Structure 1
């Protein structure tokens, strides 16, 4: 295992990481895949086109430590910060990219494991911008593994698909039966300040959560292809500019209690929103819609705070992004 803060380079292990089967998703929806290739672009796999992060967190003594770390530009991280006075054992790690956004032909993969009894919060440096793509497409794989008694929060900032972008993201979680996972996603319809809405070519995503035996607990697929199907219906974005979802997988409290806490937090926002129990009572989920990102992000923070208070007995800290 690599030491925290050390990026491995060279050798067979690094070469294996750059094999296409490692950084390419196992499957890409046809709405995105149909745009593969292009004669005039920097090929997939070229330097700077494949970003990799591998992170391992373990409980050591009184707090969780980053014990494994591999990174390949354009993906990298900040050092873990322990800034939450209510949970001084829990590190906050910011996932970063050295470029300004995601380009055509980019392939990103993030692997993070949270060991037995460990706790960690993962977020991003800011919004993920998906730039216009005239050839090919971009993908991101996020694989999260949480061990017995582990607690992991993955709450990235919003994703903004620019006009003409083509993107697929797969978030795959493997959670022990007594682990807790708090997973968030926020999507804008486009560059709202410029009046751009659903001008992207295709935005597709999959969220899948499984137990250690590989049994699927639940899945939430998204397929947004504005030229083929309207994305303004009540089951999609309903004419709003921002949608945010929160999934909470936990056995610390009954699923209905978690759903009720999310519902109470959302009711105070006055936004279009709803909360319910996940299949098999493995937890709860909520979704909120709004016209502007500040109001939706405030609602997302309120949900996170409600979950923190219910499951951990402590409030959510103020975000530390400057």
Structure 2
């Protein structure tokens, strides 16, 4: 898939992260980088927006963000992507490729997707991380019925893959949700929870520290509107969080709280 958004960043001579290459076409719009992250003067922050307002039937949208050795980037996506109704029986696809070289730092935590009735989306998130790279990657979806028709999305499938530059697979997560399954509110499966999300923290970390961080995260996942769990990754590569939420508002709040906590873990010195 030829990406509509293809960005690469490098560390400049003064250590400050700079834009190395940029290729952008519809539906994306990208602003110039900013260097205003508190306490991280060498890190860049960039805003990415969709000019079309979402993903439509038949679209195949690709995104690629690469951070070279020693660079640090936070990608800000201010508005959630809407996956629109697909009345003709077609599907849509989105592929996100994230690459981080050694000593690079990349944050990519977009708002949860908004799935409209009769939408169908196949999504792939492929993360390639060097052994000493650090990434925080988010994903999720909520449902919305703007016309109050009583209908829901058809299905949404997501594949999340974490690998080393040599192709060695670290983690592979596949999920598939159907609107009918969520509406059924099956006890022991999703209950009354209609929004789902995940967060992936990639960085070298000892097993003991990873388990301690999972316990910290779990405190934020125990509430009346949130269920979830955190698990360390194999190869001492980080940790993974999965959560269910009562609705989109609860999911957005929970992910915001988790991102604040996991940013600390992203930058904290290894123990």
Q: Shorter-normalised TM-score: what interval?
A: 0.7 to 0.9
Alpha carbons of structure 1 residues 146 and 232: separation in structure 2 relative to 1, 3 Å: farther
- 1:140 paired to 2:112: no
What are the Cα deviations for residues 281-305 of structure 1, in whole angstroms up to 9, with x where unaligned? 3211122322233332222122222
Name the counterpart of 2:11: 59
Match of 1:247, SS?
A: strand
**Pair 1:309 & 2:264 matched:** yes
1:205 maps to 2:158: yes
Aligned equivalents of 2:149 and 2:228: distance in 1?
23
CA contact (8 A) 1:191 1:197 kept: no
Over the aligned positions, Cα root-mean-square deviation in angstroms equals 2.6
- Under a length normalisation based on structure 1, what TM-score does the superposition of the two structures give? 0.74
Alignment match, 1:167: 121
Partner of 1:32: none
Answer whether contact 2:73 2:105 (CA < 8 A) is retained: yes
**Please, which moves more after superposition, 240-249 or 261-270?**
261-270
CA distance 1:206–1:196, shift in 2 (3 Å) = farther
Please, which runs of 5 or more residues in structure 2 have no aligned partner? none
Query: Deviations 1:101-131 (Å, cap 9, x if unpaired)?
Result: 2111111111111111111111323111011
Say which of 36, 44, 62 aligns to 1:91: 44
Range with bigger deviation, 231-240 or 278-287 = 231-240
- For 2:246 and 2:181, locate their aligned partners in 1 and report how far apart those are by CA, in whole Å: 23
Structure 1 contact 252–311 (Cα < 8 Å) conserved: no
Q: 1:165 to 1:260 in 2, by over 3 A?
A: same
1:164-200 deviation digits (Å, cap 9, x = unpaired): 1111111101000111111111211x21676678721
Q: Count residues in correspondence.
A: 265
Alignment correspondent of 2:250: 295
Q: Distance in 2 between matches of 1:192 and 1:198?
A: 7
Q: Runs of 5+ in structure 1 lacking a partner?
A: 1-21, 24-50, 315-322
TM-score computed with the length of structure 2 as normaliser: 0.87
> Distance between the aligned counterparts of 1:212 and 1:277, measured in 2?
21
Instruction: Tell me if the contact between 2:205 and 2:238 (Cα under 8 Å) persists in the aligned partners.
Output: no
